[in-house]
Chain A
Amino acid sequence: MTSPYPILAILGILVVVMTLAAGLIWLERRLLALWQDRYGPNRVGPFGLLQVLADMIKIFFKEDWIPPFADKVVFVIAPAIIVGTVLMSFAVLPIAPGIIVSDLNIGLLFILGMSSIGVYSVVLAGWASDNKYSLLGGLRAAAQMLSYEVFMGLALMGVVLLAGSFQLSEIVSAQRRVWFVVPQFAGFILFLIAGVAETRRLPFDLPEAESELIAGFHSEYSGMKFGLFFVGEYLGVILISSLITILFFGGWMGPVLPPIIWFVLKMMFFICFFILLRAALPRPRFDQLMSWGWKVMLPLALANLLITGAVALAWG
Chain B
Amino acid sequence: MLSTIRTLWYVFLHMFHKRVTIQYPDEKAYLAPRYRGRIILSRDPDGGERCVACHLCAEACPVDCIALQATEDENGRRYPEFFRINFSRCIFCGFCEEACPTYAIQLTPDTEMGEYKRPNLVYEKDDLLINGEGKYPGYNFWRVSGVKIGGKDKGEAENEGPPVDVHRLLP
Contact = CB atoms under 8 A, between A and B. Distances in A.
User: 5 shortest A-B CB distances, which residue pairs?
Assistant: A280-B11, A35-B14, A39-B21, A280-B8, A280-B7
A279 B4 CA distance: 12
Interface residues of B, number: 14
A276 B10 CA distance: 11
Size bracket of the A interface: 10 to 19
B19 A276 contact: no
Contacts of B167: none
Nearest to B7: A280
Interface of B: 4, 7-8, 10-12, 14-15, 17-21, 23
24 contacts: A33-B19, A34-B14, A34-B15, A35-B11, A35-B12, A35-B15, A36-B14, A37-B18, A37-B21, A38-B19, A38-B20, A38-B21, A39-B19, A39-B23, A276-B8, A276-B12, A279-B11, A280-B7, A280-B8, A280-B10, A280-B11, A280-B12, A281-B7, A281-B8
Contacts of A280: 7-8, 10-12
Contact of B4 (A35, A37, A281): A281
* Chain A CB within 10 Å, residue with most, of B4, B11, B14, B17: B11
B23 A276 contact: no
Contacts of A279: 11
Given A39-B19, A280-B7, A281-B8, 17 more contacts: A33-B19, A34-B14, A34-B15, A35-B12, A35-B14, A37-B14, A37-B18, A37-B21, A38-B19, A38-B20, A38-B21, A39-B21, A276-B8, A279-B11, A280-B8, A280-B10, A280-B11
A276 B14 contact: no
Interface of A: 33-39, 276-277, 279-281
A276 B11 contact: yes
User: Chain B at the A interface: mostly helix, strand, loop or mixed?
Assistant: helix
A280 B8 CA distance: 6
A39 to B, nearest CB: 5
Contact of B8 (A33, A39, A277): A277
Interface of A is mostly: helix
A141 B108 CA distance: 53
A122 B158 CA distance: 80
Nearest to B20: A37
A276 B21 CA distance: 20
Contacts of A35: 11-12, 14-15
Nearest to A34: B15
Contacts of A281: 4, 7-8
A279 B14 CA distance: 11
B5 to A, nearest CB: 10
A200 to B, nearest CB: 19
Nearest to A189: B1
B17 A37 contact: yes
Contacts of B23: 39
A36 B19 CA distance: 8
A201 to B, nearest CB: 14
Contacts of B17: 37
A229 to B, nearest CB: 26
B4 to A, nearest CB: 7
A46 to B, nearest CB: 16
A277 B20 CA distance: 22
Contacts of B8: 276-277, 280-281
Nearest to B9: A280
A36 B15 CA distance: 8
A17 B133 CA distance: 64
A191 B27 CA distance: 46
A39 B15 CA distance: 11
Contacts of A34: 14-15
Contacts of B7: 280-281
B18 to A, nearest CB: 7
